[in-house]
Amino acid sequence: MEPTAARKVFPCFDEPALKATFSVTLIVDPYITALGNMDVCSEVALKGTNRKEKKAVTFNKSPLMSTYIVCFCAGELRYTETTAFRVPVRVYALPDKNIEHGRLALELTPRTLQVFEKIFAEPYPLPKMDLIAVPGAPGAMENWGLIVFMESILLVDKEETSAEAYRWAGSVLVHELAHQWFGNLVMMDFWEGLWLKEAFADWAELYAWETLNPEWQMWENYASGAYQEGLVLDANRQSHQIEVPVNKPSEIGQIFDAISYCKGCAIIRMMAGLLGVNVFVEGVQVYLKRHAYGNAKTSDLWKALSEVSGKDVAGMMETWTRHVGYPVVDVDESAGSAVLTQHRFLAGGKAEEDENTVLYPLALQLRSKDGVDADVTLQERTKTLTIPEFFKLNADHTGFYRVAYSAARLEILAQNAKAGLLSINDRIGLIADALAVAQSGRSKTSPVLALLQTFDEEKNFFVWKTIFSALESIQQAWAFESEAVLASLKLFKRRLISKILKDKGWEFKKDETLLEHMFKALIFSNGRDDAEVQNAAQEMFEKFAVGDDKAININIRGAVFDFVLEHGGEKEYEVILKSTENTSSINKRETCLTSLGSTRSPSLLIRTLEFCITPEIVSRLETEVILRSFVKHKLGKTTLWEWLKLNLGRFLDAVGHGMGGFGWLVSVLLGGLSTRAQWEDVKNFFKEKDTERYNVYLAQFLDMILSKAIWVERDSDDVEVWLNDNGYGNTEVTWA
C-alpha cells in the first residue's frame, strides 16, 4: 500500500511516523487461505446470513508499524516451506503456478535473514516470513512478514530463466529482506527521508552478497549499473536532492528514483569507505537499536555514526544529501603537477554561475604505483597537486563525482589499463566518466571512441557491460543521423568485439559460472552484426519455430528473437507471439514479449501497441516490458511516440496510473528521442495536459532529450571525421 493506499483500505492516519499496532481478522470462504503480517492466532467457522459457511481468521497483534507496510492477502493458494531459519519461511503462489519455482527464494531467504541478523545485531522480530507471488504486482513490496512479489521474480523457472534474470531475482529478494530492518523496524520520519530505507536496503543487499555469494561480484555489478544510473540522473538540471521536500501525495511516487536509491546507496558506500566499514556497521547497529519500532531522520543516522566514529559525520555528509547534483573535477596538467578544479556537473553543458555555488568535500583517492593515497582531498574550488607519472583520481570510484581528463591523459590511462594498473571499477569508471564528460561538452566525443578502441582485449564482464553502455548511448543519441554514420558505428562495434566474440562463442556449458553465462550472452547479443552470429541465430530460430524448444539457449533467446524480428516479418512474429500463449513459464513469456517491439514492420508495431492497451492479452506490467523493445531502433521510437500522441487517453485508461502516475512509463516512451524537433514536439504536446502525477519525470526527460540533441549538434562532425580517419567510414549499410 506504499505510499498512500492504506487510507483507501481502512480508516487510518496514513503517515510514516504515526505507527500503530494492528489486530486483523479476515472473514473468508473456508477454502481460502488468508495471510497477514503476523501469524494466525485462531480460525473460527462462521455461518453467513445466506447460510453460506465462512471462517474468521484472526492474526496475532503486530508490533508498532507504519500503515504502508500493513498487508493482508486472501485466495486459493499453495505454498512450500522451510525450517532452515528459526521462524517458518513460506513461499505462496496460485494453484496453477509451479510452486517448486519458488526454490531460489526458499533457499536464499533463511541464509539472508541470518546474515542480516548478524550484520545489524538485531533479530528479525516477527514469528514468520511469508513470500507471495501475486499476478500483476509491480516489482516487490516489503510488507513486514508478508513480502509481495511479481510472479517472475519469486517463481524462477531455472529451465526457462537466463542467468541475468536469475541474478536479478536474487537481488530483489535480498533487497526486500533488508527492508525488514530498514523501513520496517526503523522507518523514516516522513517521505523526504525515503533514502533512509531505500538506499540503505540497496547498500545492505550489496554488503550481504559478500557473504551470500561473493562470486556474483555484486559491487562490480553496482559500479557498472546502479552507481552510473545515479550519476546520470543527478547530472540532470531537473534532478532533486536526496533529502527532498514532499508537499503532497502526488509528489511521493516521483521520488522513488535513481536519486533516492542509487545516489543514496553511493553516498552510503562513500561514507562507509571514509569511516571504515566495521566502524560504519557499528554505527548502523546503534542507529537501529536506538530507533527500533520507531522513526528516524537523517540527523539521527549522523548522530549514531558520529558517536561511534568520533568524527563529524553530519559535516562530512550533509552537503551530499541536502543539495542537488555533484561535481566534476577538471584536471589541467603541466610538468609534474595538475590544477584540480571542481564544478557542478551537468549533462546539458557547463553550469551557470548560480548553479555552481556548492563546494563538495571530495576524497580524491589518488591511485599511483605506490597504491591509493586516501588522505588527499579537494574541499575548495581549485587546488594544485604534485602528480606522479601514473595517477588516477577516484580510485575504485567510491566517490560520487566525475573526473575530466585531457585526451592525452585518457590515452595514457588506456595503456595503464592494458598494463593491469587499473582495477575493474577503475576501468568501468574511466569509460563512464569519459563518455559523460563528452556528453556535457567538456571534451569531444572522438576521444571516447579512441579510448573504447583500446579495450579490444578486455577480459572482464562488467567492463564490457560498460563499453556497450557507452556505445549504446552514442548510437541512441545519433539514431536520427545519417545512415552512413550509423553504419560506421556498427562497424566500429563489430571490430571492437571480434576477439572477445571468438573467445566466448555461444556454447553454454552446465559447469560454467553464472557470470560466465551472463558474459557470453552479453557478447552474443552485442555481436548481432557479425555474419557468424547472424547465421547461428537464424539456424537456432528455424529449429525453434518447428518445435525444438531447446534449440536456443535461454541466455540468448531474447537476442535471437530480436534479430529474427529485425530482419524477418510476420511469420517470425507469429512464431514468437504464439510462444507467449503456449507456455506456462512466466519467464519464457516475458522473454517473448520483450522482443515484439524489435520488428521493423510498421503494421506489426501498431499491432503490438494495440496489445498493450488490451488487458485481456497483456497485463500492465507486461506492457512496460513490451514497450522497452521499441526504443531499440529508430522506427520503433518514432512509431511509439506518434501512436502515443493519438492514443494517450486510451493508453492511460488501459494501464492505469499507479504510484507516480504515468511516470513509470515516461522513461520508456520518451527515452529514445534525441533531436531538438522531438524535444519541441514533446514539450508542446504535454503543455496542455494534466501532468501533476508525472511532472518531475517529464521535466527530467525533456532535459535529457535536449541534452542529447545539443551533444549531437556539437559533435556530429567530430564523430564522423574520426570514424572516417580510423577506417570505419564509407561502409555499406547492411542488416540496417
Q: Is the residue at 733 inside a domain?
A: no
CATH number at residue 204: 1.10.390.10
pLDDT of residue 689: 87
Rounded Cα distance, 633 and 459, in Å:
29
Domain stop point among 267, 292, 320: 320
Rounded Cα distance, 513 and 521, in Å:
13
pLDDT of residue 664: 65
User: What residues are annotated to the active site?
Assistant: 176
Q: Is the residue at 141 inside a domain?
A: yes
pLDDT category of residue 734 using cuts at 50, 70 and 90: very low
Residues 200 and 274 in one domain: yes
Number of structural domains the chain divides into: 2
Q: Is the residue at 463 inside a domain?
A: no
Residues 244 and 344 in one domain: no
229 vs 649: which has the higher pLDDT: 229
Residue 264 scores a pLDDT above 50: yes
Q: Is the residue at 674 inside a domain?
A: no
Residue 736 scores a pLDDT above 50: no
pLDDT tens-place string over residues 110-146: 999 999 999 999 999 999 999 999 998 888 999 999 9
Rounded Cα distance, 172 and 89, in Å:
17
pLDDT category of residue 34 using cuts at 50, 70 and 90: very high
**SS3 assignment, position 147:** strand
Burial of 704 (0-12, 13-18, 19+ CB in 10 A): buried
Q: What is the mean pLDDT of residues 535-546?
A: 97
CATH number at residue 385: 2.60.40.1910
pLDDT category of residue 663 using cuts at 50, 70 and 90: low
Q: Quickly tell me which residue has 573535477 as its cell.
A: 329
Residue 198 annotated as binding?
A: yes
- Other CB atoms within a 10 A radius of the CB of residue 8 amount to 9
Residues 412 and 431 in one domain: yes
How distant, in Å, are the alpha carbons of 507, 519, 541, 557, 667 from that of 548? Answer: 17, 25, 9, 13, 36
Residue 323 annotated as binding?
A: no
Domain stop point among 284, 304, 320: 320
Residue 732 scores a pLDDT above 60: no
pLDDT tens-place string over residues 666-723: 888 888 999 999 999 999 999 988 888 888 889 999 999 999 999 999 999 999 999 9
> Contact, 263 vs 18, CB < 8 A?
no
> Contact, 143 vs 134, CB < 8 A?
no
Rounded Cα distance, 157 and 166, in Å:
9
Rounded Cα distance, 226 and 203, in Å:
11
Residues 274 and 376 in one domain: no
Q: Is the residue at 182 inside a domain?
A: yes
557 vs 1: which has the higher pLDDT: 557
pLDDT of residue 5: 87
Grid cell, residue 680, equals 519541441
DSSP string for residues in 675-717: SHHHHHHHHHHHTTS--TTTHHHHHHHHHHHHHHHHHHHHHHH
Residues 127 and 259 in one domain: yes
Phi and psi at 463, nearest 5°, equal -70, -45
- Other CB atoms within a 10 A radius of the CB of residue 127 amount to 13
pLDDT tens-place string over residues 363-378: 999 999 999 999 999 9
Determine the straight-line distance between the first and last CA of the chain, rounded to whole angstroms. 46
Residue 179 annotated as binding?
A: yes
pLDDT tens-place string over residues 446-486: 999 999 999 999 999 999 999 999 999 999 999 999 999 99
Residues 89 and 207 in one domain: yes
Residues 357 and 306 in one domain: no
Residues 170 and 286 in one domain: yes
Helix (H) or strand (E) holding 44: strand 40-47
Domain region containing 91: 78-320
Q: Quickly tell me which residue has 595503464 as its cell.
A: 416
pLDDT category of residue 48 using cuts at 50, 70 and 90: low
Residue 546 scores a pLDDT above 60: yes
Residues 192 and 340 in one domain: no
Helix (H) or strand (E) holding 570: helix 570-581
**Model confidence, pTM:** 0.95
Average pLDDT, the chain: 94
Q: Is the residue at 35 inside a domain?
A: no
Residues 403 and 377 in one domain: yes
pLDDT category of residue 735 using cuts at 50, 70 and 90: very low
Residues 196 and 293 in one domain: yes
Q: Is the residue at 122 inside a domain?
A: yes
Q: What is the mean pLDDT of residues 244-269?
A: 91
Q: Is the residue at 522 inside a domain?
A: no
Residues 183 and 261 in one domain: yes
Domain stop point among 320, 346, 369: 320
pLDDT of residue 730: 66
pLDDT category of residue 333 using cuts at 50, 70 and 90: very high
